Amino acid sequence: MYLAFDTLATQATDYDICIIGAGAAGIAMAVTLAEQGHRTLLCEGGEASYSERSQAIYRGEVVGDPYIPLDDARLRYLGGSTNHWGGVCRPLDAHDFTAKTAAPDTAWPITQEALAPYYTQAAKLLNLTQPHADYPVPGSGFERIYFSLGNPVRLKDKYAATLNASAHVNYCLTANLVALERHAGRVERATLRNFQGDECQVRARYFVLACGGIENSRLLLWLNQQSNGQLIRNASTLGRYWMEHPHASVGQALLFEPQALGLDQEYNVFLSPTPDMLSKRQLLNCGLRLHRMNGEATQQLINTLSQDAPALGEQLSTWQAQGRVMHGVILRAAWEQEPRFDNRVALDTEVDEFGIPRSRLIWQQSALDRHTIRDSMLLLGEHLLNQNIGRLKLADWLAAQPVVMPSEGELAGRHHMGGTRMSHRAEQGIVNSDCRLFDQENMYLAGSSVFPSVGHANPTLTIVQLALRLCDHLDRQLRRPSHA
C-alpha cells in the first residue's frame, strides 16, 4: 500500500524490514518479502516518475577515463534504472566466481551454485525467456553464448498493483535516507527526509540498503563519517574496487563461411573465450557481439580488404563470381574490468540539497582491461585465419600500440558494480557472504555494489538472484524463535 510521507511520519508502526531504494533489487525484495508475510517498508528517494529535482541528486564528478555523466548513467525514481533497462541479460558464468589467473581478486566468497536456485524466480520477475544453452565452437577457443534479449520489464509498472494491494508492504516516495541511529551493533532507526525538509524516523528489525552501484557506496561513506567510523569499523575497502563493463565497437570481419559461426541463419551471434583460454592467454572475461552487415556494407568491406590485400581480393572476386555467399559483420564487445583498489567512489566537496556530499567517481581502465579486449579479438582473428573461414579487421583504436580507449561513443554499459564488495573477512570487503555489513547485526546491502568481480554479463539478473537469496536469508532470520 502507498503511504504518503506525512502519513509515514505520523504512524508508529515497527516494520520487520525496511528497504531503502526501489530499483531492481528493492522492488524484487519488497514483493517477495510481502509474499512471505513480512511487514515490509519500501522507501524510494525519488518520485513515481522522472523529476529534475530528484535526478539532480545524482550529479557528481568523474576523474580518470572518459565516462558518462553520473546523472545520465542512472535514474532516480520508482523502478530505478530498470526504467531504461534494455532487457539484455544472462547469468554470470561459473568461472566468474573463481579467482582468474590474470586477476586473483576476482574470486567471490560464494559460488554460482548459491545463486542457481533463484534463476527461475528471477526470470519470472524480469519476464525473461530461457536462452539456448552455451556450447563450444570447436578449435576456436570460444564458446557460443546466449542472452535473454528484447523483453525489458519496467518493474514499477509490472508491480504497481501488487505494491498497492499488498497487506504486508507499504511503500513511500521522496523518502531520502539522511541518517542512521545504531546501538550495540544494530541499526535501530533510519531518518528519512523529503524534498520539503520534513523528517521522520522508521524502526525495523532489519534494514536493507538497495540504492545502486554508486549510491550504496556514497551513502555508506557519508553515514560512516556521521557515526565516527562505527557503522563500518574497517572501511579500508569502502567505495573501492568499483567496476564497469567497457563497451565499444572493436572491428569488422568478413566471413567466407558464415555457417561456421552460425551467421548464415542468424543476424546476431555472441562469443566468449573459454575458461581454458582465459587462463592460457591471461584474459578477463569478454563477450564479443557479431552483428551481420547488410549486402551493401558487406561489399564495402570486401572492397576495403581487397585494397589492403590484393591477393585476398583476387580470391574474393573469384568466390563472388562463383556465387559464394559471404557475410560481413560488425564486432562490438563488452568485457570484464579488473577489480582495482584505486577505482572508487569517493565523497566530493560539493553537497546535494540534503547536505550529503556528491559522488566523485575515480575510474580508469588498466593494462589488463585493454589486453583482455585486444587479445580476445586477436584470438578470433587467428581462428578465422587458421581455418580460412574469414578475415578480421581491428578498429583503428584497438590496432594502435599502445591501445588508447575511445573517448566517444558508448564507452560503458552503465553497469555500476563494486564499491561494497562481498568477502570472507572485513579486511577484504564490506559485507559477508549473506550481504550483511560485518559490524551490524541487522543491516544488509542489495544490488551490484556487492559484486567482487563482474564477468562480462549484464548485471540485472545477478542483482535479482542475489536479492531473492537475501530474502530467503531474512525470512529464516525472522522466523527464528527469538522473533516469535
The predicted pLDDT at position 482 comes to 62
Of 143, 171, 139, 140, the C-alpha closest to 155 is 171
Alpha helices in 263-366 (DSSP H): 275-280, 295-308, 310-321
Q: With contact defined as beta carbons under 8 Å apart, do 336 and 377 qualify?
A: no
C-alpha cell of residue 353: 540539497
Q: Which one-letter amino acid corresponds to residue 151? A: N
Quickly count: other Cβ atoms within 10 Å of residue 350's Cβ: 11
Q: With contact defined as beta carbons under 8 Å apart, do 346 and 221 qualify?
A: yes
CB-based contacts of 174: which residues, under 8 Å, 6+ apart?
5, 44, 45, 46, 47, 54, 194, 195
Q: With contact defined as beta carbons under 8 Å apart, do 188 and 231 qualify?
A: no
- Which mean pLDDT values do the consecutive 10-residue runs of the chain (484 residues) have? 91 92 98 96 97 98 96 96 92 97 97 98 94 94 92 91 94 97 96 96 97 98 97 98 97 94 93 98 98 94 92 93 94 98 98 98 97 98 96 94 88 96 97 98 98 97 98 95 58
The predicted pLDDT at position 60 comes to 98
Give 90-138 pLDDT, tens digit per residue: 999 999 999 999 999 999 999 999 999 999 999 999 999 889 999 999 9
Of 394, 422, 402, 413, the C-alpha closest to 460 is 413
What is the pairing mode between strands 327-335 and 344-351? unpaired
DSSP state of 60: E
C-alpha cell of residue 13: 508502526
C-alpha span between 368 and 370 (Å, rounded)? 5
Of 467, 363, 483, the C-alpha closest to 121 is 467
Q: With contact defined as beta carbons under 8 Å apart, do 43 and 478 qualify?
A: no
Residue 443 pairs with which residues in a beta bridge? Answer: 207
Collapsed DSSP state (helix, strand, coil) of residue 184: coil
